[in-house]
Amino acid sequence: MDQMNENPQSQPNSSSQSSGSTMHTSTQQTVPPHAVPGFEQKDIQENKYLAAMSYLGFLLFVPLIAKRDSKFVTEHLKQGIAMWVTFMIAFLVIWIPLIGWLIGLILAVFNIIAFVKCLMGEFWEIPFVGEHRKKINL
């Protein structure tokens, strides 16, 4: 019987918490989690494949030449350039066993994540590297 008494008491608390979280999530639902603030959906849908080329090494020159008028492509291109420069610098360290390999692996994983997010129509700022894209003017 004690358990029966505890359940009704816990239910109002859980419902009050869920209604509070419902209010909180309803305000967050105005911007879908996959949408990138500041980018138009049309721009994202038309240019996400071209923007993804920014993370494929030398292929980053294709979006550089083709779509400089797209804000979505430009932001991914800046981050792709920053990532490419980081790979070039890391290439000097990769020859060090374990530490260099770990750095190379982390960079490769970050690059793949950014590539996949771009194909999904999202923008993911790569830790430590993405903040340097703001310094690149195209």
Q: What pLDDT digit, counting tens, does each position of 85-117 carry?
A: 999 988 888 788 888 889 889 999 999 999 999
pTM for this entry: 0.68
Q: Are residues 24 and 43 in the same domain?
A: no
**Cα 23 to Cα 28, 30, 62, 94, distances in angstroms:** 9, 12, 45, 49
Q: Are residues 90 and 110 in the same domain?
A: yes
Q: Are residues 73 and 47 in the same domain?
A: yes
Q: Are residues 41 and 20 in the same domain?
A: no
Please give the average pLDDT of every successive group of 10 residues along the chain, which has 138 residues.
Answer: 44 43 42 57 91 91 84 92 91 84 92 95 90 83
Split into its structural domains, the chain has a count of 2
Which pLDDT does position 37 carry in this prediction? Answer: 56
Angle, helices 99-119/41-52, rounded to nearest 10 degrees: 140
- Report yes or no: 44 and 72 within 8 Å, Cβ to Cβ: yes
Q: Are residues 100 and 124 in the same domain?
A: yes
**Cα 106 to Cα 57, 98, 124, distances in angstroms:** 16, 12, 15
Q: Are residues 20 and 82 in the same domain?
A: no
Percent of the chain predicted with pLDDT > 90: 38
Which pLDDT does position 108 carry in this prediction? Answer: 94
Q: Are residues 119 and 78 in the same domain?
A: yes
Q: Are residues 63 and 104 in the same domain?
A: yes
The rounded Cα 15 to chain-centroid distance in angstroms is 34
Which pLDDT does position 62 carry in this prediction? Answer: 92
What's the domain range around 5?
1-30
Which pLDDT does position 129 carry in this prediction? Answer: 86
Percent of the chain predicted with pLDDT > 70: 72
Q: Are residues 23 and 66 in the same domain?
A: no
Q: Are residues 58 and 117 in the same domain?
A: yes
- Whose CA is closest to 65, among 52, 77, 56, 76? 77
Q: Are residues 59 and 94 in the same domain?
A: yes
Q: Are residues 20 and 44 in the same domain?
A: no
Q: What is the C-alpha separation between 114 and 87, in angstroms, rounded?
A: 14
